[in-house]
Structure 1
């Protein structure tokens, strides 16, 4: 790394195997934004695995984020509208302290967004605070989303027009391969990589933990609020692909036209699928990874239970009120009414013909207020997030260290709005970035001081895990014991952290260890 004084501040030039990149001072660290890790994905390369990026000869100015992956602009994710959208979107961002000759641990972030939206440019994911606090290298990744990343068109492949599976996951793997090859140039240690993600980003992590193609690319994992069972079989994927062709008005014999079609037309069909599928079949996602005997050889949760996961340390957890945000947004991405939850359970019963009726009744009976909004939301939360995380924790703890958390903290305003510790509300606590929404109501009724204290503890635990493989801090924070059966110690994160044995034991017992839901 070479430090350079410029008219607009201090920059840093780093040599990578692909060419030099120029980053800029950001607090006490440097930031390089928009570094390409793979080539453009348009035309003949649409719906294909990522290709290596071509080396460049002149230094690349990395002052600004790269283009966001194609997606609808009218969605709940706050992204700077000035950032362009392009199929040349496979870039990543790096925050790193000035190297001193000692390799630092690396954290690689995979953003969420129902596999259909989002970007590493979202301000809540700014990596400066974590890099500064942890004295580590932080990487955030763009990957293809929606139909471009998670529509499986392989059933329509021909000799002339080939479509590959799990494109978005292949992008993530390519970014991890870039990290293995290049991160030492930024002072990072490629043998100490922690991959972490939230929502579909967290489920990407659990899926990568069972993918042979990702083995060895990261040594630890943090999984936040992962819908880990939202991975589907090829038959279901083919049905979704057929519906996509209807939406873009193509017949299979014209499948080649997808390679030249305007990408915004594909975005429109992708957005329709994103919301249409879960409306028709509550509890499912329109676009998601598929079991393909290649990148994803098995359903991930079942793979964990059969001992096929990469045996690496894992932190995993969920939020207390995951479904509340979906109620507030009136989003069909999660069933949040008694009717839609009942539809979800009818679909579960239909998909599992060998499941005795009494087992479904036993699960339902664990929620005595299921006819009310709060009960329906609790059932949806547990089916979509809590139980898959517990199934994974139970299975993985038999082979590798696991730490389980439950995020319960909510500000007075979020409690008053009946959001509580909703889906994604832990993100600003993890990154130390509050106030990233255009109109952020988080602290309208106070609570900032308590939230800052919770955030400080969480950030220390996350970086301690990345640095030492154990989420323990040295500042008097509550000891966090590993999750092992039968105690199942769980850190309940609130104004004060509490270590509780099996806090959701009654619910867990009602569901059992049979993987239900969305597989």
Structure 2
């Protein structure tokens, strides 16, 4: 499903005529749909163009844009993803600055709204080659142009190297700058694919949502998108430069490099560098070393949502959402962390998974008093979700409301998976509903009537925001204080005021610590 880097010398000379054509070649009947020099495919009723290069970069250097003009090039298969731990089944390469486009028609006069997706995986792993995030159905059913973007991750995109000299001044935010370069590509070229550069919506799940929140505080991103939606992904604070430097040093120790050997880090085989990412994080004290956006005071001159919402983002209408039981996706109900769980050890086990420093037994007692019918497992997942995965969304929505930002809409996905009874409504479960990929490998949505109805509603809501600046559900009211109106996406779709309000108030008694900051 994924292609190796394209070798242009294999292209036939006769196709050079396409590059010289100033207007994109249209005609859905063509066996080889083309836009400019890019040769695509007919796919599920739309045109797809995969593996389009938007930039090139040397290691730890800022990327430069790929020229639009040039010899014809096949854009029919996904390009390699950023080197990372895991996803060994997919080709990986440091040459990974590629995007993919799905469009109902490559007509410059069409001016359809554009939806640009950034993938999850924190800032460390992931890609947009996942079957769940392929854009054909979203483009067809939503009548929009869909773009998905790969970029540099982990140390390749976020290691803080500025202490080694100004040559590396951008190093802590290169992954973000890649996304900005991709958005500049969209601004300059998406009209040729039938898109409207004046109606660009960014959306992303988990780390993709966090990347969007960060872009909302980056001056270079201002004006490149006109609406935003984050799905279980928040970034209240970025990593401070001192913490980021401590992490870079930990990586270098794991790679057995001398403290000042930045040249060794820059030139070593990428496979070796990726091995070093398994080092223990020196700030958090557990897990692999974290790399994410750095408060460098130039590319990122302030935290995205601390002490308030970044002013540059206040004119951008925004959807923010989370799932009801986020942590069921990564705290396996069948795994060791749940084995033997009982009321006697619940507080200890819960404490290891939350990011807010409250007395864990006091927390458990509050849950048991408020919800006496809940099982120990229900309390565990509710508390770890509300104390780890949800607070950032509450902070972002509240700060936008306090600042009088452009309209904000909040949702909660509560529909439990019909595929896995132990999963509930977990992290990532909103992806197939928005993309319409209910039957894709990795989906937990099922394909029954309830799943199809919910997908129609969520897909319509997101595409409505892209097209008009408002969700495509008339009943979805703005999030303001104090009512905190929230759209609940379940088997019954409904508005509620401040659902889980008592949990929000409980966890707000102590500061939230952004993972990685």
For residues 213-362 of structure 1, the aligned pairs below 5 Å read 213-229=220-236, 231-270=238-277, 272-273=278-279, 280-281=285-286, 286-305=290-309, 307=311, 309-328=313-332, 338-339=347-348, 341-343=350-352, 349=357
Matches of 1:480 and 1:161 in 2, distance apart? 45
Please, which of 27, 35, 38 is the counterpart of residue 14 of structure 1? 35
Q: Map residues 60-79 of structure 1 onto 2, 5 A cutoff.
A: 60-73=73-86
Match of 1:137 among 138, 145, 163: 145
Cα–Cα, structure 1 residues 424 and 278, in superposed 2: closer, same or farther, change >3 Å?
A: farther
8 A contact 1:105–1:466 mirrored in 2: yes
Q: 1:160 to 1:24 in 2, by over 3 A?
A: closer
Moved more, 187-196 or 98-107: 98-107
Query: Is the contact between residue 172 and residue 292 of structure 2 (CA under 8 Å) also seen in structure 1?
Result: no
1:433 to 2:441 alignment: no
Q: Using the TM superposition, give the Cα deviation of residue 64 of structure 1 relative to its aligned residue in structure 2, in angstroms.
A: 0.7
1:333-482 to structure 2, matched below 5 A, reads 338-339=347-348, 341-343=350-352, 349=357, 366-368=366-368, 372-397=376-401, 398-414=404-420, 416=421, 418-437=422-441, 443=446, 448-473=448-473, 479-482=475-478
Once the two structures are superposed, residues 147-195 of structure 1 have per-residue CA deviations (whole angstroms, 9 ceiling, x without a partner) of: 211222323x136776622111111111111111111111111111100
User: Residue 231 of structure 1 contacts residue 291 of structure 1 at CA under 8 Å; is this kept in 2?
Assistant: yes
Matched residue SS, 1:412: coil
Which residue of the partner structure matches residue 9 of structure 2? none
Q: Secondary structure at the match of 2:32?
A: strand
- What is the number of residues matched between the two proteins? 477
Distance in 1 (CA, whole Å) between partners of 2:169 and 2:405 is 39
The Cα shift of 1:410 comes to: 1.7
Instruction: Report what 1:28 is aligned to.
Output: 45
3-state SS of paired residue (1:258): helix
| TM-score for the superposition, normalised by structure 1 | 0.84
Correspondence 1:107 to 2:112: no
- Aligned in 2, Cα 1:279/1:517: closer, same or farther, shift over 3 Å? closer
User: What CA distance in whole angstroms lies between the structure 2 residues aligned with 1:160 and 1:57?
Assistant: 30
Once superposed, what is the RMSD of the aligned Cα atoms? 3.0
Partner of residue 199, structure 1? 206
Aligned to 1:148: 156
Distance 1:187 1:54, change over 3 A: closer
Counterpart mapping for 1:45-124 below 5 A: 45-54=58-67, 57-73=70-86, 81=89, 83-98=90-105, 99=107, 101-124=109-132
Unaligned ranges ≥5, structure 2: 1-23
Structure 2 counterpart SS, 1:280 = coil
In structure 2, distance between residues paired with 1:441 and 1:174? 33
With 284-293 and 220-229 compared, the bigger mean Cα shift is at 284-293
Q: Distance in 2 between matches of 1:422 and 1:219?
A: 29
Q: Check whether the contact 1:27–1:128 (CA below 8 A) recurs between aligned residues.
A: yes
C-alpha separation in 2, matches of 1:277 and 1:413: 39
Q: 1:493 aligns with which of 484, 489, 500?
A: 489
Deviations 1:231-272 (A, max 9, x none): 3211111111111001111012322012221101111112x1
- 1:306/1:124 CA distance change after superposition, 3 Å: closer
C-alpha distance in structure 2 between counterparts of 1:161 and 1:403, whole Å: 38
Q: List alignment gaps of at least 5 residues for structure 1.
A: 76-80, 350-356
Q: How many angstroms apart in 2 are the aligned matches of 1:190 and 1:219?
A: 9
Displacement of 1:230 in angstroms is: 6.2
Q: Aligned to 1:139, what secondary structure does the other structure show? A: strand
